[in-house]
Amino acid sequence: MSDSSSPKPPEGSDEPGDSPDGPNRGGGPENSGNSGQISQQLQHTPLSARVPEKVARGVFSTGVIVIDGPFEFVLDFVMGLVQPRQVVSRAVLAPPVVEQFIAALKDNIGKYEARYGPIPVLPKPPQPPKPPSIQEIYDELKLPEDVLPGAYANAVMIGHGASEFTFDFITRFFPTAAVSARVFMAAPQAPRMLESLTVSLGRWKQRMGKRKDEGGRQKDEGGSGGEGR
């Protein structure tokens, strides 16, 4: 990987410290009453991450499907050069991580174009008269059982060469950060993924905003008093 950047930790998570692989500061152990349980805040930063053998080789993807739920985003990386098309990797990210992923991807695309020139624009496939539903799309996809549960990640490292982008999805858990999934995509796919992520995050924010507004109205209505009879 020639260039890489890692999004900042999500809000509410541990801030980066001095040691990439272990705790460096934080409160001392706290005994929770007489339960025998001990809790301690640990802080570390994934400047390096272990790469398990099963994910070290990575997978190549020709596209991504982004699904936004209320609590997480699912990124299904698809291989379209085989029939039937299949999901080769599934990454699960919290909304704050997606927002940071978008910022890091924008930055990497800018660095790529500064070094290699504009990324070629891929021709868009013809659109059917009626867009397929998400269920119809997945009916045409092969989703292997080992991919079905997905790989959780709370950080992403992005790298690029002259012809491809590399995405390392990382779990930042004590004592050592580890790569949970590694995906390679051709450079022209990076702007497409950025567009899909941006649209999906915008839709999620709009949906969450409506829920907050509805919750506020319900609270106001429930709190308004009236004369009882």
**Residue, of 151 and 45, whose pLDDT is higher:** 151
- What is the reported pTM? 0.75
CB-side neighbour CA atoms (13 Å) of 134: 5
Proportion of the chain above pLDDT 90, given as a percent: 64
**Residue 227: left (phi > 0), alpha (psi -120 to 50), or beta?**
beta
Q: Nearest Cα to 171, choosing from 25, 4, 41, 10?
A: 10
pLDDT in tens, 133-149: 999 999 999 999 999 99
| Confidence class for position 69, pLDDT limits 50, 70, 90 | very high
Is there a contact between 92 and 74 (Cβ–Cβ < 8 Å)? yes
Helices (H), 59-188: 95-116, 134-139
Is there a contact between 226 and 199 (Cβ–Cβ < 8 Å)? no
Amino acid at 152: Y
* pLDDT at residue 112 is higher than 70: yes
pLDDT in tens, 159-207: 999 999 999 999 999 999 999 999 999 999 999 999 999 999 999 999 9
